[in-house]
Amino acid sequence: MNMRKAEEEKRRILQGLLAVSVLLGALSFGTAVFGQDAGRNESTESTESTENTDPEGVLSSLTTYEIFPGSFADSDGDGTGDLNGIREHLDYINDGDPETEEDLGCDGIWLTPIFPSPTYHKYDAKDYMDIDPDFGTLDDFDALLAACRERGIRLYLDLAFNHTSTEHPWFQQAAEYLKTHAGNTATVDPDTGNLKFTSAALSACPYLDYYNFAAEAREGYSPLEGTGCFYESRFWSGMPDLNLDSEEVKGEIARITRFWLDRGVDGFRLDAVTSYFTEDKNKSIEFLSWLTDTIKTQKADAYVVGECWADQATIADFAKSGIDSLFDFPFAGQDGLIASTVRNGSGAAHFSDALEEAEKVYLAADAHYIDAPFYTNHDMARSAGYYSYDDGTKAKLAGGLNLLMKGNAFVYYGEEVGLKGSGKDENKRAPMPWAAEQTASGETTEQTASGETVLSETEPADENMFASSSVTAGPPGMDPVDLKYGTVADQEDDPDSILSYFRKAIHLRSTYPVIAAGDTKVLGELSGDQVCAFIRSPEEGDLSNPVLIVVNVGGKAARVDISASEEADGYRILAASLDAQSEESAKAAKEGNSGGRSGGRTGRRGSRNRSGQEDSGSGSSRGSADTPDSQDGSDGEDGSDGEDRSDSQNTEELVLTSSLDGDTLTIPACGVAVLTQKQ
């Protein structure tokens, strides 16, 4: 039984206290207790948690920032991002002061794998209890963790337990034994078709049982050179699958999670949970349940989120494992509900209905489940390419819809500045564009339309934290990336930038924690094709106040009669307005223009994808997002793909921000209004 299934009353009290602490900007995650010995801790016994802010995983974070370390920030000038580079830019993510608004305000960071690995993406570990030299050392990790603690940032590591690298000592020792010990060392297991090794062989080399070996070629298996054997490798020949039925392997996994939890990490992102056992969902769920329970036993307040790239029903099935969260893929990517709603400028009611339904489905599977909404990740085409000729308005609204979802919302680095990249995986992991790359002579590298790199004269870089040499080279083999909306330095002081919008949206989640923790109730009387409205109410015992959220996904401003819904009665304080359109873009839309293209600088090149091979873009990506979309020209027009259930009316007035006059809410195109009740 999962340890977070504690008594209900205690859970409610803790949730209410956490909500109040977030509202007051005083979240404290305690002092990290680091292992005194940098070596491995071989014990698998349970330990007392070093923190108790959220022992049942009720709300581990409001907003988590995903970082691909090799592309984020370079601290030593070698072209590769590293842990010290991340530490130097923590104030960009969260400066630790809830009163400031210059930071993003994220209170969690997810690092994609940082363990020693032969590939740039590091999803094939050759040592789960060390840091890849490209990224730094264990001391560097401890320094990063300590700096996160100072700012109230929780840190999550990415664990891929489906497979290791072929360079992992476990696999190498098993392979060496098979090369030198031909003969009666194994029989064929009639149930699995894999080799079943003799006790003598396992005594001589226990790692034979760590992987799945076969005596003949099978689908999903690769030949082991120098032997007559084959090994399971579903992802790629360089990634041999672990035998997750093995108790010895489970023991190793428990030692790995214990090692990092003892060091002070706050939890884990689990890679590809649907693939723990090929085409055996029940066994994968069973293993996920074991892994979650193991982590919770070691640290009760650890947060665990899994990658379950599947439909809603399958996600609900995996939620029964007791894991805290699973990424909500039906809303994500260029074919997900967020992008389709924003692209069409219609279907608002369908979107809000889907929010309400998702909560019901997931909570029916596990009453303590926390959704993990996200818009894009490192396996998806970058979202800035989803909307043809967008001036940034749609990119903002889409990010806002993600951040208005219930649960622990995730933001992929660069998403907040409109970074582009599609096709092969390297392009989706392009360098974080802190500032234009400058030479010592004060020249800036630019990219011409033909892709030629040129130098142009420019003024010396501004003396700020972003105009630095921390821009990475990106993965080897990466195609040039267009900085359509400019760099972080370009956007940081622009109130109409995508970055400014994301900052406001994330801080809104922190100011009103009920947005992340409350339950959704759609107001059908106020929801239709262009506008949707829903109340986010706290659970019983939560001390947060409810909010009414009204979203206009269309290209025209709209007026909404709040009095048309009895449940909206009392919500007459306009607490916040998220405005996606600038005055320039609003005028262009009013005049019938689609918004001009923004120029931009380009990034650099990159390397191999997760499988170590060149990616045609047809794998984990849902397709190239940088081609013109015929539907995108409808921006500024009312959609008509659903019945309009609201009394909202379009207005041709130039409306830049929401306003409330009595019962009438005026909300701009692609705008969001948050209302609270009168006290």
Distance CA 244, CA 452 (A): 49
Show contacts of 112-116: CB within 8 Å, 24+ apart. Answer: 112/66, 112/67, 112/68, 112/69, 112/158, 112/378, 113/157, 113/158, 113/159, 113/160, 114/69, 114/83, 114/141, 114/157, 114/158
User: Which residues sit opposite 454 in a β-bridge?
Assistant: 446
| Helix/strand/coil for 139 | helix
Task: Let me know: does 421 contact 427? Beta carbons within 8 Å.
Answer: yes
Structure tokens at 411: 């933001």
Phi, psi of 214 (to 5 degrees): -130, 160
442: region left, alpha or beta (phi > 0 left; psi from -120 to 50 alpha)? left
Q: What DSSP assignment string belongs to 445-504?
A: EEE-TTS-EEEEE-PPPPSSSSSSTT----STTPPP-EETT--HHHHTT-TTSHHHHHHH
- Which of 40, 295, 258 shows the shortest CA–CA distance to 169? 40
**Side-chain-facing half-sphere of 233: CA atoms under 13 Å:** 19
Distance CA 473, CA 52 (A): 40
Burial of 637 (0-12, 13-18, 19+ CB in 10 A): middle
Neighbouring C-beta atoms of residue 96, cutoff 10 Å: 17
Distance CA 367, CA 8 (A): 10
Task: Let me know: does 481 contact 420? Beta carbons within 8 Å.
Answer: yes
Burial of 22 (0-12, 13-18, 19+ CB in 10 A): buried
Longest dimension (CA), the chain: 86
Distance CA 70, CA 133 (A): 11
**Catalytically annotated residues:** 271, 307
Q: Which helix (H) or strand (E) holds 132?
A: none
Contacting residues for 149 by C-beta, under 8 A, at least 6 apart = 29, 30, 31, 32, 264
Place of tokens 């590091």: 122
Q: What angle do CA 655, 659, 662 make, to 5 degrees?
A: 135
Q: Positive or negative CA dihedral for 304, 310, 311, 313?
A: negative
